[in-house]
Chain A
Amino acid sequence: MAHITINQYLQQVYEAIDNHEGSFCAELLSFKHPHVANPRLQLASPEEKCQQVLEVPYDEMVAAHLRCTYAVSNHDFVEAYKCQTLVVQYPFVMFAVTLDLRIFANNAEQQLLRKGKGKLGDMLEKAAEQLMGCFRVCASDNRAGIDDSKKWGMLFLINQLFKIYFKINKLHLCKPLIRAIDSSNLKDDYSMAQRVTYKYYVGRKAMFDSDYKPAEEYLSFSFQHCHRSSQRNKRMILIYLLPVKMLLGHMPNHQLLRKYDLMQFADVTKAVSEGNLLLLNEALAKHETFFIRCGIFLILEKLKIITYRNLFKKVYQLLKTHQLPLDAFLVALKMMQVEEVDIDEVQCILANLICEGHIKGYISHQHQKLVVSKANPFPLLSSSS
């Protein structure tokens, strides 16, 4: 592949098309294939050669692909991206080509940013628009039989689109895609790898929308079915699964954290289960950059409520009475060095815990006491979330 002439290459493409060898043809247009390193194919103006061997519209497509290899060899990713957008218009070699499109869009963005031009997200947004075009073609493919149907391309495209939307922070654009898959009768028949990716993104979206129970389901599925050898992917899923599970009251054990190199969660876990607000604040501050970069800092802050609940449960266990003076809670909070908290706020926090179902009881303002139920005043977290 690295030594063939342009004519030999074009001949191979022509035969692949003629014999309906879609996957081979796709390889000949993919950047993962060695032919792209062949300098004889890296041409700035291959149009005439292509026209000589191939029919319309393949001549254009392949010409664009060859111009692309030329651009990539010159490290001009902006140019490469532009060429690739032309190639992408022909849906039957979609997979490889759209993947390359997204990767080039990414690289083109990096290049433009380095040169100080272009707004972050512009290139990726345009790539997304192209992909949506392909998506519509697939989704509306009602003609072909189920084996040939372009609908098989849908999940792959959707996953590509998800990646872009998450990167440019336009998550609301995911909704119509999710609806399309939900209403499709093929949804359980796609390859496991694609389904794992899909559920990963849908799970993250659910997290963002504060739907923690569905988020846990999706992310758990993704984690369990992710291939054993993809350590990196499993770790990525865990980064989002852990906070959700913690919010539902399930703390991870150290073994798991060590196995996937996620010790940043260790202090957070310890703080939450002990009701140690001070340690929680310290842990969040210490690994702030990591948590913010992953987009989970805000969710971890929600663990404060769980931490309050655990702290107050300890107060209850210490005092061994069902009529707890509000002052005791205030003292507990002050010991945790919570800033500027007074008795009114204590009441509010307790009232919130009661409202959320984490405490069974009521507050008597006149007696300045929290009166808890004699039976199970601190229900299990998983049952009240």
Chain B
Amino acid sequence: MNNKIASRRVSHSRRRGQPVERDWRQHHNQGVWREVQEERRQESIPRGVCLSMCPIRELQDREAQNLLHRFEVLSGTERERWPRADPSGVVKEYARPAAGKDSTRPSDLRPPAVLLKTVFYLVDNIAASPTLRPWTEVYDFVFDRLRSVRQDMIIQRVSGADCVAVLERTVRFLIYASYRLCGEPLRLYDPRINDTHLQESLSWLLECYTSGKHPNQEEFQALGLLYNLGSSRATQHTMELPERIRSSPVMHLALSVSRAFMERNPVRLLRLAHSLDFLQSCALHRHLVTCRRDLLLIYSHGHSSKNCRFPLHKLSHILALDVPLTNQLCQAHGVEVHGDSVVFSKTTFTEPEAGKLQCAHFHDLVDRKQRDLTVGSIIHGCT
């Protein structure tokens, strides 16, 4: 046995002579310890000092390279060869992090107060502007610049009330946009991209709510539930919220809507939807397509009889649509309409052809709620 140990010692020293393997393992182990040191170096989190909506360097660069956006150009210089930048209108744009590019320079980062100011500018002067057109272009600009704001927040690890104030407006904007631009051609607006960013911002916001007190929490928990209607994950999350939040009137209503959806009671759901405010209706609206389809399906089976007639006006009342639209919806689902009566039959119901039904045609229920609300008040939440 002693021989064995002796020979081991020899082989070890031979191995020690080979630096590569040893170094690799040490480096790898250090990788694990790196995290410990990371936490200890709190002071190394970047802190921005840029006090304008756009870092000077970027403004100068984009102006020189003629890369300013239409909304950032000094009025009167639009037609010139090199339009001049309007310092009160240039906003830092989103840039993908790239190798060799330092995104943590303090002069390029905006502190939380400036970020909030930027968001206010984007909402009040751009999104809510009565003159800037078309709104798809307004959306593109605000979407991108808000993304840059979030990026600055991530790099600086912003949290708490500052973070919440930015995210709440972001979520309201994206929800409003999901409704207003619903039906626009894909090249102008992509609902999936909007959805991805909306879900990310919403998750982040709900995460922020887990510490500290936030007066708008119920509003956003409800919006999250309505937007994600039918999702087990979202519903389970809501069930795990503290009792006092769940029992607030706005949550109570959202939960009732959710329950009606889960129980497949579209009549109840559509009736409850009347009580939702404008933004909540925007959050819910894409599920109304499923809801109405469910209603026609259920009724096709439940009222399936050759001799029976169901009044068209009654159906349109339940569907919360006017008569011509009800007619259109029935036709798309293979439901027979004879004059002012509907003949339900379980054999004739069909799913509509892909792309045939445009959600945007059936926006009545939501449209009516907008009334005198301004875009600004919708996004700031002062309705």
Contact = CB atoms under 8 A, between A and B. Distances in A.
Chains A and B bind each other: yes
Interface of A: 51-53, 55-57, 60, 82, 85-86, 117, 119, 169, 208, 292, 295, 297-298, 301-302, 304-305, 344-345, 347-355, 362-366, 371
B273 to A, nearest CB: 14
A345 B265 CA distance: 8
A349 B299 CA distance: 10
Contacts of B266: 348
Nearest to A305: B263
Given A208-B232, A298-B236, A355-B297, A55 B8 contact: yes
A345 B267 contact: yes
Contacts of B298: 348, 351-352, 355
B5 A366 contact: no
A355 to B, nearest CB: 4
18 contacts: A56-B15, A56-B21, A169-B236, A208-B232, A298-B232, A298-B262, A344-B267, A345-B267, A345-B268, A349-B265, A351-B303, A352-B263, A352-B265, A355-B297, A362-B302, A363-B303, A365-B310, A365-B311
Given A352-B298, A355-B298, A117 B39 contact: yes
Nearest to A291: B239
Contacts of A295: 236
Given A298-B239, A301-B259, A362-B308, A348 B265 contact: yes
B305 A362 contact: yes
Interface string B147-182: 000000000000000000000000000000000000
Contacts of A51: 12
Nearest to A349: B265
B235 interface: yes
A295 to B, nearest CB: 6
A324 to B, nearest CB: 13
B255 to A, nearest CB: 11
A86 B33 CA distance: 11
Given A351-B301, A351-B303, 4 more contacts: A53-B5, A82-B33, A85-B32, A298-B262
A122 B267 CA distance: 42
A354 B302 contact: yes
A interface: dominant SS: helix
A85 B33 CA distance: 12
Nearest to B29: A86
Given A51-B12, A56-B15, A355 B262 contact: no
A253 to B, nearest CB: 27
Contacts of B239: 292, 297-298
A366 B308 contact: yes
Residue with the greatest number of chain A CB neighbours at <10 A, chosen from B32, B271, B297, B302: B302
A169 B301 CA distance: 37
Contacts of B37: none
Pairs of residues from A and B, 8 with the lowest C-beta to C-beta distance, nearest first: A351-B302, A348-B267, A355-B301, A354-B302, A362-B305, A351-B298, A365-B310, A292-B239
Nearest to B272: A340
Interface string B308-350: 1111001000100000000000000000000000000000000
A301 B262 contact: yes
Contacts of A301: 259, 262-263
B interface: dominant SS: helix
Contacts of B236: 169, 295, 298
Contact of A55 (B11, B35, B305): B11
A169 B267 contact: no
A259 B325 CA distance: 58
Nearest to B311: A365
A125 to B, nearest CB: 14
A351 B310 CA distance: 13
A57 to B, nearest CB: 8
Nearest to A365: B310
A292 B36 CA distance: 36
A141 to B, nearest CB: 23
Contacts of A365: 303, 308-311, 314
B105 interface: no
A295 B259 CA distance: 16
B25 interface: yes
A264 to B, nearest CB: 16
Given A297-B239, A298-B239, A301-B262, A347 B302 contact: yes
A349 B264 CA distance: 8
A235 to B, nearest CB: 22
B233 interface: yes
Contacts of A82: 32-33, 35-36
Interface in B11-39: 11-12, 15, 21, 25, 29, 32-33, 35-36, 39
B80 interface: no
Contacts of A86: 29, 32
B43 interface: no
B3 to A, nearest CB: 13
B32 A364 contact: no
B302 A352 contact: yes
B70 interface: no
Nearest to B304: A362
Contacts of A60: 25
B305 A347 contact: no
A311 to B, nearest CB: 14
Contact of A363 (B233, B263, B265, B302): B302
Contacts of A364: 303, 305, 308
Contacts of A347: 267, 302
Given A85-B32, A305-B263, A355-B297, A350 B308 contact: no
B274 interface: no
Contacts of A208: 232
A9 B191 CA distance: 63
A338 B9 CA distance: 82
Contacts of A362: 302-305, 308
Nearest to A357: B301
A362 B307 CA distance: 11
A60 B12 CA distance: 13
A349 B268 CA distance: 10
A304 B309 contact: no
B200 interface: no
Contacts of A297: 239
Contacts of B259: 301
B240 interface: yes
